[in-house]
Chains A and B, each alone.
Chain A
């Protein structure tokens, strides 16, 4: 195992590739929502069949969980040597 210089040119680490990956990712996101025009998502409890419900629900739930974790952080987080003393 050796230390290498930080600026290597692996194709996945290039800014250009990262930009392209973002474009592809956003295109896929848009497609999964638009696909609901052609594919019926069965709503077992009403709302879950709404257009784009899965997308909105997934995003908002994750955002809420990140916010909750962030809010709990000051109460729960301690330096990782906390128990060593």
Chain B
């Protein structure tokens, strides 16, 4: 019975317990359950662990492999640190939803078949929507509905693909596929929607920044990275992913440069970073897949760290917009330093986690002789430093003095940020220990002097470009249009135009029917009404006259005939 119990169920049980307990007991559940899950994850052996028969399908709820354990490990670490960050401030139902959401992510990691994968996939969609709604504002409610619609659509597309594969191949196993027919394309599209790939990248930057300061920390971690894992498991080496990934990388940079909302800048940079991973899955070699997995692991840590620092700022000041912020380093030194560590890591600065993982992807492009991909990724690395590495900390913590003097982070938020900052630096400083966790053997040295120098030049001169062109990057109180404009404005307008058209058509039809009836009525009235020829009362004299005429005619006719 227990052999096929997924470690995900521990987090799911914790999600229920969070609702049932109070006070210290609830805090204990929040902090202990992810650690128990982490322990259980490392008890899962390689290969399929037990099979359950269900409707003639062989369901494999738990299948272990180094790749699956790696993703599950970072998801449970994230649940722990997110819980630590949030447990004193978030409402219980937000924490409960966050743990159910994390449970879905861990469940996907160990899913041995497509049906189990789909079930946990939908669990994530459901509870991440609840987290968006926990933002508590009318904007969060609307964004949550749009988010749910997008993910339900993605779920349906994924399900169509899975059913197609099951019907046509008879197998529900998770195995490498290529997008060659309708079924596999549907699965790929369903996964890519969760990865925030074009043309629907907008859902991410629309929803995440509307959640609470604690909710966005959880949201940043699970959905997109589970999609990356699903791509590694199902579509390694799918060439179309290289182009999709490169588009995402550039999209994230340009939109983040235009953005004014601090957390929305970070949301766009999630799309940018996931683009690196999607591109690596498209390259598909062992080095590239190692790079995708490693970068996902590092990314969850530094992106959660960045969202934590932004979350503390929103929690303390109630302000999201760069144009309202600035100069916070004076009273929030710890949050500033942790934000900078996260910013340096996402920019893959040497001695941070991003450097030892992103260069794996670049190396994979070099090994395959992909010149254009390599140079575009290098340009994107420079762009990441520009939009997230400097822009985020500069506009939030430095820039002008906004006059705000908020207190620094509460102790638990500070502890979570320090823990993730330490992990960013430890992974960057000692990559060999981390490389041992990767799915394939690593023969790669991150710190050759030439490579470090190349990246230092690249990044520091990006920094120079930022400060030289600062007047062009001045914040304006604006948002940027994206493809979500189509369903937020165009579709709405189309519906109202259609409704107007239908309305006027109905009015016209009504009017012509009315006119027809009126004419008919008038005609009847003329003939049969009180004044009508056939219904009016005739004077008695005229009747006598007519009778006389008729009698006279009768007499004449009788006489003649």
Contact with A along B469-504 (1 / 0, CB 8 A): 100110011111110000011000000000000000
Is B327 in the interface zone, CB < 8 Å from A? yes
> Which residues of A have CB within 8 Å of B478?
77-80
Tell me how far the C-beta of B396 lies from the nearest C-beta in chain A, rounded to whole angstroms: 15
> Which residues of B have CB within 8 Å of A63?
465, 469
> Which residues of A have CB within 8 Å of B455?
54
Is A17 in the interface zone, CB < 8 Å from B? no
Count A-B pairs with CB separation below 8 Å: 151
Is B258 a contact of A40 with CB atoms below 8 Å?
no
Give the size category of B's interface with A.
35 or more
Whether A83 contacts B488 in the complex (CB less than 8 A), given A1-B406, A41-B450, comes out as yes
> Which residues of A have CB within 8 Å of B159?
none
Residues of B within 8 A of A (CB): 253-254, 257-258, 260, 316-317, 321, 327, 329-330, 366, 371, 374-375, 378-379, 382-383, 385-386, 401, 403-407, 448-451, 453-466, 469, 472-473, 476-482, 488-489
> Which residues of A have CB within 8 Å of B462?
58-59, 61-62
Name the interface residues of A13-62: CB closer than 8 Å to any CB of B.
13, 25, 28-29, 32-33, 35-36, 39-42, 44-45, 48, 52-59, 61-62
Is A62 a contact of B403 with CB atoms below 8 Å?
no
Is B383 a contact of A28 with CB atoms below 8 Å?
no
Tell me how far the C-beta of A70 lies from the nearest C-beta in chain B, rounded to whole angstroms: 5
Query: Can you sample 22 A-B contacts with CB below 8 Å?
Result: A4-B403, A13-B327, A25-B464, A29-B460, A29-B461, A41-B451, A44-B366, A48-B378, A54-B458, A57-B375, A57-B378, A58-B458, A59-B462, A61-B382, A62-B386, A62-B466, A63-B465, A65-B254, A66-B472, A70-B472, A75-B481, A83-B479
> Which residues of A have CB within 8 Å of B473?
66
Tell me how far the C-beta of B473 lies from the nearest C-beta in chain A, rounded to whole angstroms: 7
Closest A residue to B142 by CB, please name it: A83
A33 and B454 alpha carbons, distance in the complex (Å): 9
A10 and B397 alpha carbons, distance in the complex (Å): 13
Is B386 a contact of A55 with CB atoms below 8 Å?
no
Is A62 a contact of B366 with CB atoms below 8 Å?
no
Residues of A within 8 A of B (CB): 1-4, 6, 8, 10, 12-13, 25, 28-29, 32-33, 35-36, 39-42, 44-45, 48, 52-59, 61-63, 65-70, 72-73, 75-80, 82-83
Is A66 a contact of B257 with CB atoms below 8 Å?
yes
A69 and B258 alpha carbons, distance in the complex (Å): 6
Is B254 a contact of A79 with CB atoms below 8 Å?
no
> Which residues of A have CB within 8 Å of B321?
80
Whether A1 contacts B316 in the complex (CB less than 8 A), given A44-B366, A72-B258, A83-B488, comes out as yes
Is B461 a contact of A56 with CB atoms below 8 Å?
yes
A45 and B368 alpha carbons, distance in the complex (Å): 12
> Which residues of B have CB within 8 Å of A65?
253-254, 257, 379, 383, 386
Q: Among the listed B257, B385, B406, B457, which residue makes an inter-chain contact with A33, where contact means beta carbons less than 8 Å apart?
A: B457
Is A76 a contact of B481 with CB atoms below 8 Å?
yes
Q: Among the listed B254, B454, B465, B476, which residue makes an inter-chain contact with A59, where contact means beta carbons less than 8 Å apart?
A: B465
Is B330 a contact of A8 with CB atoms below 8 Å?
yes
Tell me how far the C-beta of A62 lies from the nearest C-beta in chain B, rounded to whole angstroms: 4
> Which residues of A have CB within 8 Å of B317?
1
A33 and B459 alpha carbons, distance in the complex (Å): 12
